[in-house]
Structure 1
């Protein structure tokens, strides 16, 4: 096994003489390596074909100028930008767009890992003076701060058959990368018209670019209208693809590999179920939350602010029947000291809420406990009101119902569990112990139900060994046999954390 470099891949191809090379499963490094080998003529020299998405399509999605040309050709819009060669040009571009603006240090690709926001003239001067030392050109982008970030995961084969696996919505508005934002699957705040519109545009883009296999299309959506921009298209399997696959039970990597060698989507089975076809679109009756682990204080940094650059070191995923249930589960997994959507005991200010930090979600809990309204929080954070109302429902339950008597009230205790509260949280808020809370649940027969990830919802029953626990519902999806003589305990590793 060797690292993916032009040298190592060249040696393998020279020695093994493969008929083809598959670039979609190796991330950005594999794409870059494959494109360079193609541009140098090496792949053509050894008659090594690029499997799956054509190399020219990959090049289009990696080159911002080409990508813009193609989106314009199909009458779609990308985020307006200008290429500048000096500080004076950057200042003029910012004046035309209006502050804030996004400064990108890579003028070729659509990669947003090397970018920063300038909120005023002084910040732009500071950014450009340092950035122009390393690069002769910069992108100045119109800001879409505060817009929604929506993603669609689409699969297409050589014969123009396609399905949409799912869509995803960032809870945080644009300004933060997806890797630094909490993401919910499927989207929760889109209207039917918005959902259908962006779905249709995703399919149009994938068809135009002749994508084969999985593809991730990212949008910026204006929360005050149906205006949208296409941000980028990922032709490789990405972290978003992994989330889509885990969230839906759809084997994206496996299907993408089969489509790359010419298989028809209509002829493939879903290997997760062995009962449904890969051509069936998943239909979710549950909510999936992805949350980043942000260990910023373990790096040499002066600030815990997060914006457009990569900060997260890992991510967690939770599943529930309600947003609140999945949301609080996810928060508990990001760090061993986090008990859920728990407010701080101190008083906070508007400035703390206005700046994205690794503590922002808990600052929101504190603000709601402190008496901030949903409207005021929307003005400060631009987080959609739907999410803010869900956060508010959790805090209001804490304020109005948590006292020593809750564990004696079956309906309130069940409601608390359905809102995602753990036994530990309940014990802290009502002044009891976890043992007492658990005993009350057992007395009231309040227990989590085993639910099955059904990749096509209830439309076509499937047998799949993919389950989650929830306090919503009336019965388990599977029946455990009490007569079995042996039981199996599966132990898994805990979450990854830098320094431990």
Structure 2
């Protein structure tokens, strides 16, 4: 909390709460591999929407390099680590109407459980819906009930269980934990020895975490959908097709908006499955869903019930204030039918991952399911004959042929 030392040597609080209705927005903390500056854009536009809706906007973040921590963006800024101990003190003082966790990436989302346990209202999607999406086992069960294809999977808590599951679903498999940042500790493995090493490493760094073992869909196309749902109406912000093949983390992949090589049926299926999932999870606000397409079948890999790192990219590419709209939907102030969506993109937009390997010379530069990029850039091309796009696609073809 913000405290100063008085003449008596005792600490007193310098933050005086107002009588206005307040909404707290949780930021993403320091920029790091797996979570970067993209979420600052989300928080800034969320704060603007909160103020436009008549609430006092309170920002909690601790990164001096972000716009969300500028003195004139929020009505009140708490420059504090995005940790539970700090957040709870702020909540006790400010007594907000609720807290928004959808705009600060995985760091903010991981605090949702403690908020619910303390009786604090989460603005937007409920914690239970978030937990279904984040818990790999529960989410796969939901997909089964919705009759949506997904890779065969199983869950485990130790090495022996993991090896048994891996043999049942078939190698290669993707070994991954729940509630992690940027694909942390995810590994693609091809035999029992590699499963053992991956699980031991995972449990060493994340003790007690439930381990999900997925059959890995090799040599397939990846795509993702970002969307908004208000409880009644569903809107697809964008369908992005990855240039890199499956197995590379979405944050490390070049991606093209709109999709360039998927069939109309595949794109329609992506959007159809996305809406089914959003309705089943009762999303209020943002959702990002990752897909794999192989032999004409669309498989769902995962869903993120929050702003993704590509949400700002799509908003900028199409020239639509999607984060402002989504925040007002979360607050219950607006429905999607209150807005018009005119996409202004002429041609294609390509998301380029930004890497900082020159600052970490000893780091393994090989890309995989664990994210290694530190940001992203955007490039606009008029058509697919553009030399830059042709070079990227040629490299993809070479990778697939290996």
**Partner in structure 2 of residue 8 of structure 1:** 86
Question: Equivalent residue for 1:182?
Answer: 254
Does structure 1 retain, via aligned residues, the 8 Å contact 2:136–2:212? no
Judged with a 3 Å threshold, the aligned counterparts in structure 2 of structure 1 residues 132 and 319 are, in CA distance, closer, same or farther, namely: same
1:364 aligns with 2:395: yes
Hey, what does 2:224 align to over in structure 1?
A: 151
Structure 1 residues 300 and 259: CA distance shift in structure 2, 3 A? same
> What is the CA–CA distance in structure 1 between the aligned matches of 2:164 and 2:386, rounded to whole Å?
48
Q: Structure 1 255/125 Cα, relative in aligned 2: closer, same or farther at 3 Å?
A: same
Displacement of 1:212 in angstroms is 1.5
Deviation at 1:303, TM superposition (A): 3.3
Task: Determine the C-alpha separation between the residues in 1 that align with 2:128 and 2:160.
Answer: 35
Equivalent in the alignment of 2:401:
379
Secondary structure at 2:218 match in 1: coil
Pick closer, same or farther for the CA change 1:42–1:323 going to 2, 3 Å. same
Q: Is it true that 1:116 corresponds to 2:187 in the alignment?
A: yes
Q: Which ranges of structure 1 fall in alignment gaps of 5 or more residues?
A: 44-48, 269-277, 329-339, 342-360, 366-373, 381-500
What's the secondary structure of 2:256's corresponding residue?
Answer: strand
Q: Which one has the largest radius of gyration?
A: 1
Higher strand share: 2
In the other structure, the counterpart of 1:443 is none
Structure 2: tracts of 5 or more residues without a match? 1-77
Q: 1:55: which partner in 2?
A: 127
Q: Distance in 2 between matches of 1:173 and 1:310?
A: 15
Match of residue 302 from structure 2: 232
Aligned pairs (5 A) from 1:164-313: 164-222=236-294, 224-225=295-296, 227-266=297-336, 268=338, 278-280=339-341, 282=343, 284-299=345-360, 301=362, 303-313=364-374
- SS in structure 2 at match of 1:243: helix
**Partner SS, residue 50 of structure 1:** coil
TM-score (norm 1): 0.59
Q: 1:238 to 1:326 in 2, by over 3 A?
A: farther
CA gap of 1:11–1:151, structure 2 versus 1, over 3 A, is same
> Post-superposition shift, 1:53?
1.6
In 1, the alpha carbon distance for the partners of 2:393 and 2:255 equals 16
**Is this contact kept in 1: 2:182–2:370, CA < 8 A?**
no
Contact 1:52 1:260 in 2 (8 A): yes
> C-alpha offsets along residues 192-219 of structure 1, whole Å, 9 cap, x if unaligned?
1111111111111111211112221211
Displacement of 1:90: 3.2
Query: 1:157 touches 1:263 (CA, 8 Å); kept in 2?
Result: no
Q: What is the root-mean-square deviation in Å for CA atoms of aligned residues?
A: 2.8
1:26 counterpart residue number: 104
**Cα distance in 2 for residues equivalent to 1:229 and 1:94:** 19
